[in-house]
């Protein structure tokens, strides 16, 4: 049951658009105003390289309801209206899990969980600007204005997600929160001295295929994290994450549709040229499209990096956050159990006698494993669509997710090597097979050779299909980005 109150209305005229009545909150407004100028410096320094004066056809959030929450218009990115938007409050909402199940949700930070909450907000907040930094140079090689616009849409919204977390820090965590807010702007993706907090957010996003894989696999981890934080008993966090999820759907669409368009282009080119062996990489690449085995390797890389984001299979931190009522399971409110997990077990992937096997572990400790499983189910669904495209073209090739033990840096399998099928192998065997399983330098060079910008309205680079429909139902020739000369 949701009831929209007056406070849910968005004050769009304010310097910082918001629906949290910032105008009446002088302390936070002042802190955010100060942070805003540092933020803009960061955006100019680390946001999309070039294009700061381009007019981009962007979606901006102007409401928080289910419908009509966004408007589309041409905007210069530094002038984007980054706002603070919380999903409508749910009347008489109760904590749905853990030791406090059934109690009223918290509107202020519960003192005993302050440290835990701050850490979760900071980690989530750190990923948002990190991805903007990782994608900084992609604008220079966009396959179309449509794709360029989508990239920038994802970038401004990830930056808005940073605002969302910074608001929580400034509003609820006093001096520590201010300090953390500044730190969020001082770490840098991939920087040796001051890296971002999580591994996948320090990797490069060197080309558009990586961007699509990132938005498909890594933004989907983001979705899972936001879904479980949306269950939080700390209501401001829950409401913030619920609104972020509205935006997040588009990011995954960009990845999902982007990969499908690449696969379809490759398959059609193969059919037209009469090539039916997808492993004849030389012949396929001569057509100027990305061969299917390389796409599989990219998927292996981004899936395994994204699995690391779920943390160790067994985690007392995750157990504590659950028992505290701070971070729930994926769609906790739809699960039919006691929501306390005392005495429950969960089948957890463990390394036993040189093999990956499922072992029943206390469910409370296996929450990361469970969230990761939910993620894998979702990530796997898209691969069925990829395979449909290949099959329709009559090509014999099947995409598959690698085993969860493959190429891992965190958790149970961090210290061992496996094949994509999950069989344990030596380091030497892994190094020998690496080039078949993960993108090699040569694969990267080939993909880079295709990354030539295409900025004529309605035209697309040769390695990707045009989209089926335009953004906001715009026609094919629509000039999504007006690049300033
Ligand atoms: Fe985000
Ligand atoms: Fe995202």
**What pLDDT digit, counting tens, does each position of 253-291 carry?**
999 999 999 999 999 999 999 999 999 999 999 999 999
Residues around the ion ligand 1 (C-beta < 5 A)? 128, 158, 161
In residues, how long is the chain? 485
Judge whether residue 325 has pLDDT over 80: yes
Provide the CATH number for the domain around residue 30: 1.10.620.20
Which pLDDT does position 13 carry in this prediction? 86
Q: How far does the centroid of ligand 1 lie from the alpha carbon of residue 220, in Å? A: 10
Neighbours of ion ligand 2 (CB under 5 A): 219, 222, 248, 251
CA 81 – CA 16 distance, rounded (Å): 7
Q: Which of 294, 283, 222 is nearest to 255 (CA)?
A: 222
Assess if residue 1 is contained within a domain.
no
375: pLDDT strictly greater than 60: yes
- Domain encompassing residue 303: 6-482
Q: At residue 468, does pLDDT exceed 50?
A: yes
Distance 222 CA to ligand 2 centre (A): 6
Burial class (CB in 10 A: 0-12, 13-18, 19+), 117: buried
In a domain, 211, yes or no: yes
Sign, CA dihedral 124-298-446-267, equals: negative
> Which ligand has an atom closest to residue 124 CA?
1
Instruction: State mean pLDDT over 331-354.
Output: 95
Q: Could you say which ligand is closest to the alpha carbon of residue 218?
A: 2
Among 2-16, 72-86, 273-287, 447-461, the least confident range = 2-16
Tell me, in angstroms, the distance from the centre of ligand 2 to residue 200's CA: 14
Please report the pLDDT score of residue 7 as a whole number: 52
Specify the number of domains making up the chain: 1
CB 205 within 8 A of CB 140: no
pLDDT surpassing 70 at residue 377: yes
The pLDDT value given to residue 3:
42
Q: Do the domain assignments include residue 120?
A: yes
């Amino acid at each position: 049951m949701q009831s929209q109150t007056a406070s849910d209305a968005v004050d769009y005229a304010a310097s910082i658009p918001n629906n949290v009545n910032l105008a009446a909150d002088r302390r936070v407004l002042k802190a955010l105003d100060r942070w805003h100028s540092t933020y803009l410096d960061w955006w100019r320094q680390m946001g999309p390289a070039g294009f700061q004066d381009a007019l981009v056809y962007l979606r901006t959030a102007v409401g928080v309801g289910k419908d009509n929450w966004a408007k589309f218009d041409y905007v210069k990115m530094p002038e984007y209206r980054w706002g603070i938007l919380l999903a409508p409050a749910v009347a008489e909402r109760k904590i749905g899990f853990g030791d406090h199940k059934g109690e009223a949700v918290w509107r202020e930070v519960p003192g005993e969980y302050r440290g835990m909450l701050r850490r979760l907000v900071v980690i989530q907040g750190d990923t948002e600007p990190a991805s903007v930094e990782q994608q900084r140079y992609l604008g220079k090689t966009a396959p179309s204005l449509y794709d360029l616009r989508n990239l920038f849409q994802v970038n401004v919204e990830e930056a808005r997600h940073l605002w969302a977390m910074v608001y929580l820090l400034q509003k609820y965590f006093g001096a520590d929160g201010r300090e953390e807010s500044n730190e969020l702007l001082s770490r840098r993706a991939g920087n040796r001295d001051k890296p971002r907090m999580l591994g996948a957010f320090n990797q490069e996003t060197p080309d558009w295929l990586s961007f699509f894989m990132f938005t498909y696999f890594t933004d989907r981890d983001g979705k899972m994290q936001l879904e479980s934080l949306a269950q939080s008993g700390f209501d401001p966090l829950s409401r913030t994450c619920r609104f972020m999820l509205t935006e997040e759907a588009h990011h995954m669409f960009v990845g999902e549709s982007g990969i499908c368009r690449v696969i379809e282009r490759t398959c059609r080119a193969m059919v037209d040229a009469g090539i039916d062996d997808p492993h004849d990489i030389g012949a396929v690449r001569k057509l100027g499209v990305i061969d299917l085995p390389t796409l599989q390797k990219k998927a292996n890389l981004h899936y395994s990096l994204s699995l690391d984001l779920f943390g160790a299979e067994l985690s007392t931190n995750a157990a504590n956050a659950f028992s505290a009522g701070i971070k729930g399971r994926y769609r906790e409110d739809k699960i039919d159990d006691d929501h306390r997990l005392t005495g429950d077990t969960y089948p957890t992937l463990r390394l036993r006698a040189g093999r990956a096997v499922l072992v029943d572990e206390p469910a409370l400790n296996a929450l990361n494993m469970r969230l990761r499983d939910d993620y894998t189910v979702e990530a796997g669904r898209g691969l069925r669509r990829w395979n449909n495209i290949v099959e329709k073209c009559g090509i014999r090739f099947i995409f598959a997710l690698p085993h969860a033990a493959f190429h891992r840096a965190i958790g149970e399998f961090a210290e061992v090597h496996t094949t994509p099928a999950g069989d344990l192998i030596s380091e030497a065997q892994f190094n020998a097979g690496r080039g078949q399983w993960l993108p090699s330098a040569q694969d990267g060079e080939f993909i880079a050779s295709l990354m030539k910008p295409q900025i004529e309205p309605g035209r697309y680079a040769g390695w990707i299909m045009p989209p089926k429909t335009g953004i906001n139902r715009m026609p094919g020739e629509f000039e999504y980005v007006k690049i300033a000369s």
